[in-house]
Structure 1
Amino acid sequence: MKPIFADAAAIENAVKLLRQGRLVAFPTETVYGLGADAANPDAVRRIFQAKGRPTDHPLIVHIASVDSLTDWAQAVPDAALKLAAHFWPGPLALILNKKPDVSPVVTGGQNTVGLRVPDHPVALSLLRAFGGGIAAPSANRFCRISPTQARHVEEELGSAVDLILDGGACQVGVESTIVDLSGTRPKLLRPGYITQFDIEAVLQTELLVVSSQTEPTNPSELRAPGMMAVHYAPITVAMLCPTDRLPEIIQTLNFRNKKVGILAYSLKQAENSLTLLIHMPKQADDYAQALYASLRDLDSLQLDIILVEQPPETAAWRAINDRLGKATSASQ
């Protein structure tokens, strides 16, 4: 399926397809989503089939405004309203106790549902025209690199998608922050552009933080996407490397005649013809926007290994380090 420019006619066509139970990929500020009518269990099942995603992994429902929260949530706590007022539309998903009529197909069998209002003109126009919730995980194969451009969706899912709306490159570039408000104390399930400290400042309370590198052993704890130990990963083996060890590791691999791709912000040039360097931005926001597209570019080159320079381990880089920790699997 070739992407089409997301003008008014394309959005009208997308709405028709969604109402027919078909799949529509669309841009958000974070990544491209693979959308289906969240009120149509058969349509939502097609998402799982297209992605190869296990059916016990819950989906996030995208809604047009905070007013739609009560269509999906059994109760809306004050904390949810405070966060929505500060961060919606925006890259924040809230986990709330679901209404009884919300399909377990959407929630992965959980008694909670994830909700967010995306901050992208195409996504918002689509949601307003559709008039309901759109269940939409990232538009890629399960556990692979998320798409931040329309062509990534085409390359990854092809004819499994009925329509791809092209709204340009995603501005944030990594998935939304996820906060669980279904219990007695707020939990940070997945870091993102909106930081733990941003959320704590609004709620005036500390969040419980779920370790991003520990996969839940109890299915009932799998309340949100992206909680697998391996996720966002290229097909090519990838290794996260400390800055001070990067030259040594590159030299060793070059000696073994390995074709090496590198994502780095400190190196100025590639070592030799066996090495391909993508020079990454030094600012966290710019790095995040470029990350998935850069990984995809290297992954397409039939390399032996991808090396990723370890970013700073500060709050601004937390979401990026979370994604890289899951995307890289080789040991140093």
Structure 2
Amino acid sequence: METKIYHADTIKEAAKEIQAGQLVSFPTETVYGLGADATNEAAVKQVYVAKGRPSDNPLIVHVADITTVEKYAQPLSEKTRLLMKTFWPGPLTIILKLKPDALSKSVTGGLETAAFRNPHNEATLDLIRQAGVPIVGPSANTSGKPSPTEAKHVYHDLHGKIAGILDDGPTQIGVESTVIDMSGEVPSILRPGAVSEAQLAKVIGTVQSDHHKVGKNEVPKAPGMKYKHYAPNAQVLIVADDQWPAAMNWAAQQNSPVGVMTTEQVKKENLIPTNAEWFSLGEDVHSASHNLFAGLRHFDLESSVTYILAQEFDRIGLGEAYMNRLGKSAGQQYFQTPNK
């Protein structure tokens, strides 16, 4: 299969592919998604095949308006409407109870709920409108690998497996949306993202964070809760602030190249050894979140490192989302000073 590249002036063609049951990757403000007609079960099943994704991992349904959500979900609560009014379009995914048999089990992972999002990207909103259907959209990467923040990342993983890619340049945020479950009594954050717990609580009051580990036979309510995610070929090690001198000394002693991902300030404060390759995370946690997946993919595609040392940030605001993704890419492993 030839994978075509679409742009803003050829969205109509990309929409026709969606209508025909084909898969088209699309841009959002967070990462690139892998799109299929959410009402076409055969097309949805191909998403799992193309990604190599477990079938019990539910998909996010992308919509262009709240009216579409109302077509499939049970009546929206006042708090849900407040969230949509405040954060949509934007990086917030909302899990809602569905009307009976409203969407295929292939979309929901067999659950009676579904995750909805209204992305803040005009090209994709245009794609959804022209296709005339809601579009499922997990990240457009091989399952388990770093999420794609540029069209070239999608092409690397999925060319020949999907019909096309709508290229709208690099994404702005770089980590996936916040997921909040509004199907229970107390709103619960299932995945941190650019919309923080504090921002959500300011709008709807009490919000809890769900950190429980999803069991082997349990179906996760949201993506990213159960299976290995965001992992490059090299072993990622998280480096705490006070460990950088020791980490650089360790890197200098390795026989194979080591990748280093830090902000500009940390680079200024530490001598990067000659056998290490540095990738800039920018100036702060915002740029680091934007650059995280791009950095991991850089070392996968353009380098031969066996370890990647990556900077830790405080788990505050966007730092919570950054550390969630970095922790999963590293298997929660931190750099530790070797015993002398």
Would you say same fold, with TM above 0.5? yes
Question: C-alpha distance in 2, partners of 1:278/1:34?
Answer: 27
Whether the 8 Å CA contact 1:59–1:225 is kept in 2: the answer is: yes
Seen in structure 2, the aligned counterparts of structure 1 residues 284 and 271 have a Cα distance that, compared at 3 Å, is: closer
Quote the residue 2:262 is aligned against: 264
1:78 corresponds to 2:78: yes
Moved more, 97-106 or 216-225: 216-225
Q: Where do 4+ consecutive residues of structure 1 move more than 6 Å?
A: none
1:47 corresponds to 2:44: no
Secondary structure of 2:49's aligned partner = helix
Seen in structure 2, the aligned counterparts of structure 1 residues 50 and 221 have a Cα distance that, compared at 3 Å, is: closer
Quote the residue 2:338 is aligned against: none
Structure 2: runs of 5 or more not aligned: 336-340
- 1:228-285 CA deviation, whole Å, 9 max, x = no partner? 3631121211110112112212312321323100001212375333101112223222
Whether the 8 Å CA contact 2:27–2:123 is kept in 1: the answer is: yes
Quote the residue 1:61 is aligned against: 61
Instruction: Give the length in aligned residue pairs.
Output: 328
Whether the 8 Å CA contact 1:35–1:137 is kept in 2: the answer is: yes
C-alpha deviation, 1:19, in angstroms: 1.1
> TM-score with structure 2 length normalisation?
0.92
Quote the residue 2:185 is aligned against: 184
Question: C-alpha distance in 1, partners of 2:57/2:3?
Answer: 28
- 1:125-165 CA deviation, whole Å, 9 max, x = no partner? 10111111100100001121000100000011111110111
Whether the 8 Å CA contact 1:236–1:299 is kept in 2: the answer is: yes
Quote the residue 1:305 is aligned against: 307
Question: C-alpha distance in 2, partners of 1:249/1:287?
Answer: 19
Quote the residue 1:327 is aligned against: 329
RMSD (Å) for aligned C-alpha atoms: 1.6
C-alpha deviation, 1:221, in angstroms: 5.4
Pairing partner for 1:317 from 305, 316, 319: 319
Query: 1:187-206 counterparts in 2 under 5 A?
Result: 187-203=188-204, 205-206=205-206
> TM-score with structure 1 length normalisation?
0.94
Query: 1:124-135 counterparts in 2 under 5 A?
Result: 124-135=125-136
Quote the residue 1:12 is aligned against: 12
Quote the residue 1:121 is aligned against: 122
Question: C-alpha distance in 1, partners of 2:75/2:198?
Answer: 25
Whether the 8 Å CA contact 2:63–2:135 is kept in 1: the answer is: yes
Structure 1: runs of 5 or more not aligned: none
Quote the residue 1:249 is aligned against: 247
Question: C-alpha distance in 1, partners of 2:275/2:189?
Answer: 41
Whether the 8 Å CA contact 2:6–2:164 is kept in 1: the answer is: no
C-alpha deviation, 1:322, in angstroms: 0.8
Quote the residue 2:288 is aligned against: 287
Moved more, 316-325 or 147-156: 316-325
Question: C-alpha distance in 2, partners of 1:40/1:250?
Answer: 52
Seen in structure 2, the aligned counterparts of structure 1 residues 177 and 18 have a Cα distance that, compared at 3 Å, is: same
C-alpha deviation, 1:5, in angstroms: 4.3
Quote the residue 1:234 is aligned against: 232
- 1:164-221 CA deviation, whole Å, 9 max, x = no partner? 1100110111100000011111100011101111111110x2212111xx53116555
Whether the 8 Å CA contact 1:22–1:36 is kept in 2: the answer is: yes
Pairing partner for 2:220 from 213, 219, 222: 222
